[in-house]
């Protein structure tokens, strides 16, 4: 099946540091990628939808100046947590949308990356 | 009201037991439904899609009731390896937006 990678898998940083997380689709082109955040014992919360070549669409309550998203190519989206603080510590997961033309129409599947654990001290 | 609601559990069951999870969703225009499984500290993985006619995959059976906006997952003959959090997932029309439930934790004990 399709593979989505994330890098790094773990980040520990000091408060005030900016952290960049990469999400790559390894064997398909993804015009749309999604960024989620998950706090312990809570569900995945969609932060933003990243579209290749255009601005990301942020969910209500997510600060776009705090969480910078860039989707510069069909296989790479990046999330930068600017001036990270301890409350930003979380599990960040990206996913990529793969559309395959079938005889009956378009089959769309969402593949998840392995996630990045961010700990801000 | 949350868009997707699940009983958080935990469900503690012995090996071999049958266990059922329920999920309700609030957006009647929702188009696609899934159950995902998430192991501790891992990303969610697709368990199965849910169709109106109901579908089965081995020990797992999923049902969808559009009129009641209700989804279920039945696990028969539980295995220790089934211990995980099960996420009810709804995809709404347009934009491919996926909404996750908070998950139901299952512990299967020997």
Indicate the range of A13-17, A64-68, B39-43, B87-91 predicted with least confidence. Answer: B39-43
Decide which of B106 and B31 is more confident.
B106
The secondary structure of residue A59, as a DSSP letter, is P
> Per-residue confidence of chain A (121 residues) as pLDDT tens digits?
568 999 999 999 999 999 999 999 998 888 889 999 999 878 889 999 988 888 899 999 999 999 999 988 889 999 999 999 999 999 999 999 877 666 766 667 788 999 999 999 9
Query: How far apart, in whole angstroms, are the C-alpha atoms of residue A21 and residue A93?
Result: 10
Burial of A38 (0-12, 13-18, 19+ CB in 10 A): buried
Residue B7 pLDDT > 60:
yes
Substitution target in A23, A37, A44 with the highest count of B β-carbons within 10 Å is A44
Closest to A119 in 3D by CA, of A93, A98, A89, A99: A89
Q: What are the pLDDT digits (tens) for B63-78?
A: 999 999 999 999 999 9
Query: How far apart, in whole angstroms, are the C-alpha atoms of residue A111 and residue A58?
Result: 20
Contacts of A48 in chain B (CB under 8 A): none
Query: How far apart, in whole angstroms, are the C-alpha atoms of residue B92 and residue B86?
Result: 19
Interface of A with B (CB under 8 A): 32, 34, 36, 42-46, 49, 91, 93, 95, 97, 108, 110, 112-115, 117
Task: Count Cα neighbours of A52 within 13 Å in the Cβ-side half-sphere.
Answer: 14
The pLDDT of residue A2 = 62
The mean pLDDT of B68-89, rounded to a whole number, is: 95
């Amino acid at each position: 099946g399709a593979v989505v990678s994330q890098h790094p898998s773990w980040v520990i940083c000091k408060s005030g540091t900016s952290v960049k997380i990469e999400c790559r689709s390894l064997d398909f082109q993804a015009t749309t990628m999604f960024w989620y955040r998950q706090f312990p014992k809570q569900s995945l919360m969609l932060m933003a939808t990243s579209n290749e070549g255009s601005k990301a669409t942020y969910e209500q309550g997510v600060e776009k100046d705090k969480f910078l998203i860039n989707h510069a190519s069909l296989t790479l989206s990046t999330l930068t947590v600017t001036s990270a603080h301890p409350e930003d510590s979380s599990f960040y997961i990206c996913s990529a949308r793969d559309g395959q033309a079938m005889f009956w129409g378009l089959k769309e599947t969402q593949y998840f990356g392995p996630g990045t654990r961010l700990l801000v001290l | 009201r949350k868009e997707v609601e699940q009983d958080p559990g935990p469900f503690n069951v012995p090996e071999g037991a049958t266990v059922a999870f329920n999920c309700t969703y609030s957006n009647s225009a929702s188009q696609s439904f899934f159950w995902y499984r998430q192991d501790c500290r891992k990303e969610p993985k697709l368990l199965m899609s849910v169709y109106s006619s109901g579908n089965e995959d081995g020990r797992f059976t999923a049902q969808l009731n559009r009129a009641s906006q209700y989804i279920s997952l039945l696990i028969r003959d539980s295995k220790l390896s089934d211990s995980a959090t099960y996420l009810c997932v709804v995809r709404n029309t347009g934009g491919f937006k996926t909404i996750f439930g908070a998950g139901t934790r299952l512990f299967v004990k020997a």
